[in-house]
Amino acid sequence: MMIINQIILFLITKLPKSFIKIFASRYVAGESQLDAIETAKKLNKKGFSVTLDILGEHTKTVQEAKNITQEYVKLFNLIEKNNIDANISIKPTHIGLDISIEEFESNLSILLNTASNTNNFLRIDMESSLVTNQTINTTLKFQKNNKNLGTVVQAYLYRTIDDLNLLNKFNNLNLRLCKGIYKESERIAIQSRNQINTNYLKIFEKIIHLKGFVGIATHDQALIEDIYKLIHRNKIDKKQFEFQALYGVPMGGWLEKHLSNNYKTRIYIPFGPNWYDYSIRRLKENPNIVNYIFKNLFTN
């Protein structure tokens, strides 16, 4: 399967960009902020909350990092102006972490001030294990004075279950829980799907036990069924969690089921001019995604 995925990936990179865009449009809400805002409005009308994310990462220059930061400032203001139920998620390397910690945190401070002024919330995304420590350290540094900030934890990392204790320093856990998409060494990351799912459930239960809030971010329907069982068995308060899914990913009716159960459900909407580079880079980092994408392209 890995060889087949590599072959498909090679072929994808040789296709015209315009052709790739036809398929990418299912998963990316256009290139502009107004495209994303219109998509968010439509999803809000259906009962979904949203998270907006400008595609991109590994910014190389200070000016570019500042420009991206200002784009997010504009986005916060557009959300407020249009009265949209949406928050924002940013990648540390997109706003300067590859340049320096100081640049990253300076831009993050601007965004947190804007989030506060617009009565909104900012989530720091979790990238590869190379920046896990810094992402946690910065989150804790700013959470001390900002309740409108959270981050992400990845179920495939062995360390995550212990990181929860660190992240709960101020007794205000607010986490998105995902499996993890970056290709990581078996030394630090679980490789088996079943074992990742088992760890996901352990992490979920611990966040609930710590009285935290968790965004349940997975498209694995078997895992969602197990989470439903935990919610019912333990009578977990609906205010402690929400379900999350990527824009355009088929969920076999689960999104509607969440809403019918009065469970808050959030759609993660990526957009921006960097959609092509981002998509190709993601595929190269983890070729196994190719099979997932092709399977979903031809399902409802």
CB 283 within 8 A of CB 289: yes
Residue 44 neighbours by CB under 8 Å, 6+ apart: 50, 84, 85, 86
Residue 248 lies in a domain: yes
Asked whether residue 296 carries a pLDDT value surpassing 70, the answer given is no
Residue 51 lies in a domain: yes
Max CA distance (Å), the chain: 51
Range of the domain at 226: 29-271
For 230-273, write each residue's pLDDT tens digit.
Answer: 999 999 999 999 999 999 888 889 999 999 999 999 999 999 98
Asked whether residue 20 carries a pLDDT value surpassing 80, the answer given is no
Residue 12 lies in a domain: no
CB 276 within 8 A of CB 97: no
147-172: b (≥16 Cβ within 10 Å) or e: ebbbbbbbbbbebbeebbeebbeeeb
Residue 282 lies in a domain: no
Give, for 19, the enclosing helix (H) or strand (E).
helix 17-24
Asked whether residue 136 carries a pLDDT value surpassing 90, the answer given is yes
Closest residue by Cα to residue 95 from 77, 124, 68, 117: 68
Residue 36 lies in a domain: yes
Residue 289 lies in a domain: no
CATH code: domain of residue 177: 3.20.20.220
Residue 200 lies in a domain: yes
Within 32-92, residue ranges assigned H as helices are 33-45, 62-81
Asked whether residue 80 carries a pLDDT value surpassing 80, the answer given is yes
Orientation angle between helical segments 33-45 and 62-81, nearest 10 degrees? 40
CB 214 within 8 A of CB 175: yes
pTM of the predicted model as reported, rounded to 2 decimal places: 0.89
Closest residue by Cα to residue 139 from 177, 174, 114, 95: 174
Q: Which residue has the higher pLDDT, 99 or 27?
A: 99
Asked whether residue 219 carries a pLDDT value surpassing 60, the answer given is yes
Q: How many domains does the chain have?
A: 1
- Chain center to CA of 23: 20
Residue 33 lies in a domain: yes
Residue 162 neighbours by CB under 8 Å, 6+ apart: none
> Which two three-digit tokens encode residue 242?
């929400």
What pLDDT does residue 300 have? Answer: 43
